[in-house]
Amino acid sequence: MGKKILIVDDAAFMRMMIKDILSKNGYDVVGEAQDGAQAVEKYKELSPDLVTMDITMPEMDGITALKEIKKMSGEAKIIMCSAMGQQAMVIDAIQAGAKDFIVKPFQADRVLEAISKALD
């Protein structure tokens, strides 16, 4: 069985892209969430091995969701998905316990490298 991944992004297209990369490489995408509040709920429900977390989302942004999840589970492994110009938010996320970050548009190699390192 592959490692369980939860994908969080408000854009269905982005979720689809990551899901495609991960399922082709032996990971088990167990759930998807489209905002931070949903991400926290799904994390509780699914206990994934790793979460890919978008930063800019409605309801609750990815940084807040990261902090909420880390409060529940200090061991949670979360990789942030950032866009250009979000360096300050990425630093904030790393300080709050994010394992790594990947930058849009996603490159499959970089996504897989970040995830396998974070799960190591």
By CB under 5 A, name the binding residues for Mg ion.
10, 54, 56-57
Closer Cβ to Mg ion, 96 or 119, answer by number: 96
Write out the H or E segment, with its range, that includes residue 42.
helix 36-46
Q: How far apart are CA 32 and CA 17, in angstroms?
A: 12
Compute the least distance from the CB of residue 11 to Mg ion, in Å: 6
Closer Cβ to Mg ion, 60 or 112, answer by number: 60
Closer Cβ to Mg ion, 5 or 86, answer by number: 86
Compute the least distance from the CB of residue 89 to Mg ion, in Å: 12
Cβ(78)–Cβ(48) under 8 Å?
Answer: no
Compute the least distance from the CB of residue 10 to Mg ion, in Å: 4
Cβ(61)–Cβ(81) under 8 Å?
Answer: no
Closer Cβ to Mg ion, 25 or 82, answer by number: 82
Reading the block at residue 113, the tokens are 């490298």
Tokens 């949903």 belong to residue: 38
Compute the least distance from the CB of residue 2 to Mg ion, in Å: 25
* Residues β-bridged to residue 103: 82
